[in-house]
């Protein structure tokens, strides 16, 4: 994006309500001038008032280059793939979200030296409050399994820690579709400033997503205040056309999405990608039976990681996927396509 800088990003994306709040611009800003204030009204990042391009005339444009909202929204239903299967972990993952397949794949990759770090979402076990983190231990990864990616967090911001500060060279990034699109921009950009990111991202795992929710608005206002649900009692949280919350006593609270519309992140309203079409592997519970994970293996890189986990007895696959349901919900999300 020749000649583009922070001011263009602000005018075109932040100020128009299109920001996905993924954190990619925070990660790549060489001046550390872009940041988030983690508040309920944080609809986009902030800038310290400095931009090396705008202020000093030094060409940059990294923030604009990686933004997932600069390009037109995806029109693909499922995207390119090699195979679609249903999977489950063949290792003990106490807090797994569905089949535990993503945790099994990443744990195997860490153990085998295929990756040296995972940029992902973690959560406080007492409050469910999310944050992004860099994980390098299989034990920590398994402990954090089941973290709710439905909570908004500028996940990609932690990529700067992994790449620039801790100097990891084989990084896996796990995130929702806007995150995977930002990763695509990083991996395909020819901008020299992005070379460290382009070179060191080894695997991108995308998670099926209909929308993400603001933590304060959903947990503190809707769940605690209105529905009298203690976050400590929640063991499973899923979005399949409605909000399904499973509690420790086995009961389930179902909340129609229209009742939590005011908790959805503003930038989600223009996202058309359900299955993270830009990932190496996409994963979600839609299309698989309870206790299993649907995997969309999109390219040889993704296939290599899946096959390694299978060879080492950490993952098993089946072919029983409800493809019709995945396509139906993908087409439903495509209806959000903004008008020209």
Torsion of CA 158, 36, 231, 104, to 10 degrees: -20
Residues 6+ apart with CB under 8 A from 304: 114
pLDDT in tens, the chain (340 residues): 457 999 999 999 999 999 999 999 999 999 999 998 866 567 899 999 899 888 888 899 999 999 999 998 889 999 999 999 999 999 988 777 778 999 999 999 999 999 999 999 887 767 767 788 999 999 999 887 765 655 667 778 889 999 999 999 999 999 999 999 999 999 999 999 999 999 999 999 999 998 888 877 887 788 888 888 887 888 777 776 788 888 888 888 888 888 888 888 888 889 999 999 999 999 999 999 988 999 999 999 999 999 999 999 999 999 899 999 999 999 999 998 776 5
Torsion of CA 80, 163, 267, 131, to 10 degrees: 120
Q: How many residues does the chain have?
A: 340
Query: Which strands make up the sheet holding 201-207, listed edge to edge?
Result: 130-135, 117-123, 171-175, 201-207, 281-284, 293-297, 83-89, 315-318
SS3 breakdown of the chain: % helix, strand, coil, rounded to 5? 35, 20, 45
Nearest CA to 194 out of 238, 164, 150 is that of 164
CB 60, CB 30: distance < 8 Å: yes
DSSP 264: B
DSSP 232: G
Domain residue ranges in the chain: 6-66, 83-211+268-335, 213-263
Distance CA 119, CA 306 (A): 18
Packed helices 101-112 and 300-311: angle between N→C axes, nearest 10 degrees = 80
- What the block records as the tokens of 147 is 């973290």
Chain mean position to CA 322? 23
Is 6-66 CATH 3.30.70? yes
Distance CA 164, CA 27 (A): 9
- What the block records as the tokens of 58 is 């030094």
CB 314, CB 107: distance < 8 Å: yes
CATH architecture assignment, domain 213-263: Roll (3.10)
- What the block records as the tokens of 166 is 């801790």
């Amino acid at each position: 994006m020749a000649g583009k800088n922070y001011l263009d990003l602000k005018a075109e994306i932040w100020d128009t309500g299109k920001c996905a709040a993924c954190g990619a611009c925070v990660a790549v800003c060489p001046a550390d001038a872009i940041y988030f204030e983690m508040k309920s009204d944080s609809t986009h990042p902030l800038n310290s008032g400095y931009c090396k391009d705008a202020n000093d005339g030094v060409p940059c444009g990294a923030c604009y280059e990686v933004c997932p909202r600069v390009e037109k929204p995806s029109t693909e239903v499922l995207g390119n793939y090699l195979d679609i299967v249903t999977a489950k972990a063949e290792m003990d993952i106490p807090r797994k979200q569905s089949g535990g397949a993503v945790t099994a794949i990443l744990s195997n990759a860490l153990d085998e030296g295929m990756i040296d770090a995972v940029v992902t979402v973690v959560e406080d076990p007492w409050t469910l409050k999310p944050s992004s983190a860099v994980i390098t231990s299989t034990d920590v990864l398994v402990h954090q399994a089941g973290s709710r990616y439905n909570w908004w967090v500028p996940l990609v911001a932690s990529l700067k820690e992994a790449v620039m500060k801790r100097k990891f060279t084989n990084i896996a990034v796990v995130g929702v579709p806007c995150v995977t699109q930002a990763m695509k921009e990083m991996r395909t950009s020819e901008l020299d400033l992005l070379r460290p990111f382009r070179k060191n991202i080894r695997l991108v795992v995308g998670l099926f997503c209909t929308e993400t929710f603001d933590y304060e608005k959903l947990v503190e206002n809707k769940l605690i205040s209105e529905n009298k649900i203690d976050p400590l009692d929640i063991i499973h949280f899923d979005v399949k056309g409605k909000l399904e919350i499973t509690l420790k006593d086995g009961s389930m609270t179902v909340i129609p999405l229209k009742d939590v519309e005011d908790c959805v992140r503003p930038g989600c309203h223009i996202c058309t990608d359900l299955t993270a079409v830009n990932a190496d592997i996409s994963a979600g519970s839609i299309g698989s039976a309870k206790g299993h994970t649907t995997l969309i293996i999109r390219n040889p890189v993704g296939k290599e990681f899946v096959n390694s986990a299978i060879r080492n007895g950490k993952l098993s696959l089946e072919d029983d996927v409800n493809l019709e349901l995945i396509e139906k919900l993908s087409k439903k999300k495509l209806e959000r396509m903004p008008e020209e």
